Amino acid sequence: MAEVRLENVCKHFDEVVAVDDFNLSIQDKEFVVLVGPSGCGKTTTLRMIAGLESITSGDVYIGNRLINKLPAKDRNIAMVFQNYALYPHMTVFDNMAFSLEMRKTSKDEIKQRVQEAAEILDIQALLLRRPKQLSGGQRQRVALGRAIVRKPEVFLFDEPLSNLDAKLRAQTRLELKKLHERLATTAVYVTHDQIEAMTMGDRIVVMHDGFIQQVGSPLELYDRPANKFVAGFIGSPAMNLFEAELNKTGDRVSLRAGDFTLELPPEKAKHFQDYTEQKVIVGIRPEDFKQAAEHSPGKTIPATVEVVEPLGNETYVNVAAGNVTLTAAVGRRTVIKPHSSLNLAPIFENMHLFDIRSEKSILCN
């Protein structure tokens, strides 16, 4: 049993606030991903759990133990670093055996446990090599092996895939996920890559400027982003975000942005009563556009195609509608030429609106 609990955790580096009032409870065996742009405090949070960074205020618990003052070695955690941090002068076996050796495990047990871990990761053939004789992917596995050999209560991962090429990264992502299922150990994973976060996490914690922006399952974050930041950060290509004015004429509520007006369906419109005659931020995901044969005022956005990006499985078009630039996903084999005109019909049910000042989702409030 190892749940991890962070209560009101803050970290200050002199005047700079790296993490502010961080509250999170991670269940036993859960895979939680901390995601956010660089400098958002995700790695600092992980390092505080690991004991590599002191905690300015707040409490961190592993299981029911308060570990604020506990040295890293006594926290029963294992960490995989971005640059793997393998000991270059030791063989793979010695690298994996190091932590057991430090804990005075018997030689026979060390041997058996390293073998076991090596089998799980399929690196038995590499045990006598040194790190410099290994490829990036193999080093990554050894780093993982070094972590699992100890059978810790919590795994901490600090962007472990960012040094791998794209193909290997996708493959290792899957393997990590399988490994987590097999070992059933609590894991905290830090990444700046939202695809990694979406594919691997049971729950995702989106961070920005030291604050938690939203915590939720991957699809919760995707479907109901709590604020503009999460909306723009989760999803690739990013959600289209633009300013519009909410107008009410009679019963009809419409959004006016640049050259076009969108009329909100009544069931959607009722949420926005307080915002009439005000500016809001509209968010529409690229796949939430349909292509319309002709322009229908209030329902479609007339636009001019600027760039076409055929990816094979999907084609993305960048269009300009007045001073608003949008990205839309249009079927995989749609033939569209740059500079041609295109009518985009947004799916209103999936549209998001954000308060322009607080940037919070109006629906989620």
Burial class of 97 by CB neighbour count within 10 A (0 to 12, 13 to 18, 19+): buried
Cβ-contact 344, 289 below 8 angstroms:
yes
CB of residue 151 vs another protein: minimum separation in angstroms?
A: 13
CB of 279 to another protein, least distance (A): 47
Task: Let me know: does 277 contact 247? Beta carbons within 8 Å.
Answer: yes
Task: Give the amino acid at 226.
Answer: A
Residues 6+ apart with CB under 8 A from 81: 143, 158, 160
From candidates 10, 17, 70, 72, binder to another protein by CB under 8 A: 72
Query: What mask of x and - would describe binding to another protein in positions 77 to 106, judged by CB under 8 A?
Result: xxx-xxx-xxxxx--------xx--xx---
Nearer to another protein, 61 or 81 (CB): 81
Nearest to 336 by CA among 348, 318, 313, 354: 318
Pattern 19-58, another protein, x by CB under 8 A? -------------------------------xxx------
Size of the residue set binding another protein (CB under 8 A): 26
Residue closer to another protein, measured from CB, 155 or 260 = 155
Report the distance separating Cα 263 and Cα 257, nearest Å. 11
Least Cβ distance, residue 108 to another protein (angstroms) = 19
Which of the residues 131 through 170 are near another protein (CB under 8 A)?
131-132, 146, 150
Q: In what order do the strands lie in the sheet with 341-346?
A: 289-292, 341-346, 301-310, 315-321, 324-330
Nearer to another protein, 162 or 340 (CB): 162
β-pairing, 203-208 with 57-62? unpaired
Q: Which residues within the stretch 198-237 sit at the binding site for another protein (CB under 8 A)?
A: none
Residues near another protein (CB under 8 A) are 50-52, 71-73, 75, 77-79, 81-83, 85-89, 98-99, 102-103, 131-132, 146, 150
